[in-house]
Amino acid sequence: MTATATSTAPVTHARVPAPGAPGRLRAWATRAPLLPALVFMVAVTQLPFVATLVISFFDWNALYPDARGFAGFANYSEVLTDPDLRKSVLTTILLTASVVLASLVIGLGLALLLDRRFKGRGFVRTLLIAPFLLVPVAAALLWKHVLYNPEYGLFNGLLHWAGGDSAPQPDWISHTPLLAIEASLVWQWTPFMMLILLAGLQSRDTELIEAARMDGASDWQVFRHLTLPHLRRYLELGALLGSIYIVQNFDAVFTLTSGGLGTANLPYTVYQSFYQAHENGLASAAGVLVVIGSLIIATFALRVVSSLFREEASRA
């Protein structure tokens, strides 16, 4: 920074003595290790998004390259008025919200169970984490063929076992397609929530809880007035990170239903509209909408992360 710039800059900068040439050199030496990573990230993630933004304003079907032209906001109004695309916005919200909520609640229950000492706790923890460590496509295949299959899937097999020959044998995916996807995702994401909440539980102030118990507080009172307030930010963090990952889900939708039966979410729709329908402009507009949605979640997520981050920093 030059001397003139410092003089016009706010007073807060004044504590740094005006750096001469060697000082500037040292500042760059400090910054240098950071630059490759920064430049790489900007080039690989920000530039393509800018391109998406530009393409979203063009009427561009890859099959008719000559008919390409500027379209203004036409793609956006088409995306927002097209019933299929509007449905996929709704599906995305429904899918994300239900999976996050369900896995958060179940994850909280499991974390509370695992927070206590009992025989084989480490082993049970490992059992519970396992679903999260399956390749997502493999997990979706497991649910689709091994569990949901109406003829020889495990669910109908168990029904047959329990209820005899007259037991109902539903076709899970065709009857409740969205629920089928949600169940498989809840199975995979509950361990994630459990891990975050368990970390939260284990960072509780044990002395405070002991003191409360000495004063005769019941389990429920301790949970309601001490544990839950402490967990609040971990719950928020789990919900927000879960939302960021699940809003982008492609694997489960692609594998279980191939976006059929009204289960196409926005990422699948974007994929389908350029990969199969070659509607580049429309796909880009839908992509930009996904980004706007994610940014709204991300703003909150960043706030929670930064408050946890500051807390950790002050503790260190």
Partner 1 sequence: MRNVRVKGAGLGLAAWLAGIVFFLPLAWMALTSFHSEEDAATNPPSLAASLTLDGYRDFFGAGGGASPWPSLVNSTVASVVSTLCVLVLALPAAYALSIRPVKKWTDVLFFFLSTKMLPVVAGLLPLYLFARNTGLLDNIWLLVILYTSMNLPIAVWMMQSFLAEVPKAVIEAAQIDGARLPTILARVVAPIALPGIAATSLICFIFSWNELLFARVLTGVVAQTAPVFLTGFITSQGLFLAKVCAASLVISLPVLAAGFAAQDKLVQGLSLGAVK
DSSP 8-class letter at 13: G
Please report how close the Cβ of residue 54 comes to partner 1 at its closest, in angstroms.
9
Q: Nearest-5° angle of CA 58, CA 96, CA 142?
A: 105
Q: What does residue 279 show for φ and ψ, rounded to 5 degrees?
A: -90, 85
Please report how close the Cβ of residue 238 comes to partner 1 at its closest, in angstroms.
8
Sign of CA dihedral 37, 40, 43, 44: negative
Element (H, E) at 184: helix 177-202
The span from the CA of 129 to the CA of 255, in Å, is 22
Q: CB of 193 within 8 A of CB of 238?
A: yes
Please report how close the Cβ of residue 198 comes to partner 1 at its closest, in angstroms.
8
Structure tokens at 220: 């429920």
The span from the CA of 120 to the CA of 252, in Å, is 32
Please report how close the Cβ of residue 211 comes to partner 1 at its closest, in angstroms.
19
Please report how close the Cβ of residue 74 comes to partner 1 at its closest, in angstroms.
17
Please report how close the Cβ of residue 131 comes to partner 1 at its closest, in angstroms.
6
Q: Quote the distance between the C-alpha of residue 93 and its chain's center.
A: 12
- As a dihedral over the C-alpha atoms of residue 304, residue 306, residue 311, residue 316, rounded to 10 degrees, the angle is 140
Closer residue to partner 1 (CB): 62 or 94 = 62
Structure tokens at 196: 């975050």
The span from the CA of 99 to the CA of 187, in Å, is 9
Structure tokens at 191: 């361990």
Please report how close the Cβ of residue 188 comes to partner 1 at its closest, in angstroms.
10
Q: Specify the amino acid at residue 111.
A: A
Structure tokens at 158: 């168990």
Half-sphere exposure of 260 (CA within 13 A, CB side): 7
Closer residue to partner 1 (CB): 87 or 278 = 278
Half-sphere exposure of 48 (CA within 13 A, CB side): 6
Q: Which of 309, 303, 300, 190 is nearest to 244 (CA)?
A: 300
Please report how close the Cβ of residue 265 comes to partner 1 at its closest, in angstroms.
10
Please report how close the Cβ of residue 244 comes to partner 1 at its closest, in angstroms.
6
Closer residue to partner 1 (CB): 98 or 257 = 257
